[in-house]
Amino acid sequence: MAEVILKNVYKRYSGNVVAVTDFNLEIADKEFIVLVGPSGCGKSTTLRMIAGLEEISDGDLMIGQRRMNDVAPKDRDIAMVFQNYALYPHMTVYQNMAFGLKLRRFPKAEIDKRVRDAAQILDITHLLTRKPKALSGGQRQRVALGRAIVREPQAFLMDEPLSNLDAKLRVAMRTEISKLHKRLQTTFIYVTHDQTEAMTMGDRIVVMKDGFIQQVATPQEIYNHP
Ligand code: ADP
Ligand code: ADP
C-alpha cells in the first residue's frame, strides 16, 4: 500500500524563502496525481520532500503507515525520474538500468530479469548495449523510466519528465506514461507546468500557486468548473 499523506507541510529555505506553505494532501494507493502551476510555485520542492532530497521544515509525510520525515531517500522505496534524465554517460543502457539494483546488492539473475522485463515494457530491448549519447531524446527518457521501473518502487515521482522533448514526442510519451501507470498499478506523482499534460494524465490535479494549494480536483471537475 503506497498511500502518500502530506499533513501541514512547510518548506523554508535559507534567506526566508517559504517555498511551500501548509500543504495538505492524501494521495491514494495507485493514484496518478499531477502537481501543476507556474514556475516557482513549489512543485519541485514538494516532490523533493516526498523523495527525501529536501528536508521538511514543518509537518508530516506518511508513506503507507510510516512517518517518513527522517527516513533516508534510499530507504523510502520510491523512485524519481528527472527531466534531464541523469543517465550515466559511460555506461550502457543495460548498465544504467542495472546500476541501482547492483548498489542494493540484488543477485545478478534477478537484476537481469528485471532489466529485460522493463526493457520489454518500454520497447528498448534493442538498445541495451548502446551508450546514452547514441540515443534519441525519447529513447533516453525511456531508459530513465526503465531505471526507475526495475526498482519496483511503491511510488514513482516524476519532475517535468517530458519538458526536454519536442512537442510531437511529448504527446506520444504522455500516452506511454499513462499506459505505464495502468500496467504497473503504482502511485504516480507527476510535476508539470503544462496544463494540457496535467488534464490528460492526472486522476486528480493539484493546482499550486506561490507555495499554496489553490485547488485539488479531477480533470472532469476542472473542465466543468474552470
Ligand atoms: P517549481 O518547481 O514550481 O518551479 P520550486 O519548488 O523549484 O518551484 O521553487 C519554489 C520556490 O523556492 C521558488 O521561489 C524558488 O526560487 C525557491 N527555491 C527552490 N529551491 C531553492 C533553494 N535550494 N534555495 C532557496 N530557494 C529555493
Ligand atoms: P559486472 O561489472 O559486475 O560484470 P555489468 O554491468 O558489466 O556488471 O554486467 C552485469 C551482467 O549483465 C553481466 O552478466 C553481463 O554479461 C550482463 N550484461 C551487461 N550488459 C548487457 C547487455 N547489453 N545485454 C545483455 N547482458 C548484459
pLDDT of the chain, 226 residues: tens digit per residue: 579 999 999 999 998 899 999 999 999 999 999 999 999 999 999 999 999 999 999 999 999 889 999 999 988 989 998 877 789 999 999 999 999 999 999 999 999 999 999 999 899 999 999 999 999 988 998 999 999 999 999 999 999 988 888 888 889 889 989 999 999 999 999 999 999 999 999 999 999 999 999 999 999 999 898 7
Ligand nearest the Cα of residue 105 is 2
Question: Between the CA of residue 171 and those of 73, 93, 200, 201, 217, what are the distances in Å?
Answer: 31, 24, 10, 11, 22
pLDDT value, residue 169: 85
Ligand 1 binding pocket (C-beta < 6 A) is: 13, 17, 19, 37, 39-45
Q: Residue 11 Cα, ligand 1 centroid: separation in angstroms?
A: 10
What predicted TM-score, i.e. pTM, was given to this entire model? 0.87
- The dihedral built from the CA positions of residue 17, 32, 162 and 85, taken in this order, carries a sign that is positive
CA 11, chain centre distance (Å): 19
* Ligand 2: residue whose CA is nearest its atom 12: 112
Tabulate helix, strand, coil % of the chain (nearest 5).
40, 25, 35
On the CB side of 100, CA atoms within 13 Å amount to 24
- Note whether 149 and 111 are within 8 A (CB): no
Ligand 2 binding pocket (C-beta < 6 A) is: 92, 94-95, 98, 108, 112, 128-129
Identity of residue 176: E
- Note whether 96 and 147 are within 8 A (CB): yes
Q: What are phi and psi of 138, to 5 degrees?
A: -65, -40
Rg (the chain; Cα; Å): 17
- Note whether 174 and 201 are within 8 A (CB): yes
Identity of residue 47: L
Question: Rounded to an integer, what distance in angstroms lies between the CA atom of residue 51 and that of residue 49?
Answer: 5
pLDDT value, residue 106: 96
Q: Residue 132 Cα, ligand 2 centroid: separation in angstroms?
A: 16
Q: Which three cell numbers stand for residue 131?
A: 551508450
User: Parallel, antiparallel, or unpaired for β 155-159 and 78-81?
Assistant: parallel
Maximum C-alpha span of the chain: 52
Identity of residue 211: G
User: Parallel, antiparallel, or unpaired for β 4-13 and 58-63?
Assistant: antiparallel
Q: Is 208 helix (H, G, I), strand (E, B) or coil?
A: strand
Q: Which of 44, 160, 163 to mutate to test the pocket of ligand 1 (most atoms within 8 A of CB)?
A: 44
Question: Rounded to an integer, what distance in angstroms lies between the CA atom of residue 49 and that of residue 55?
Answer: 6
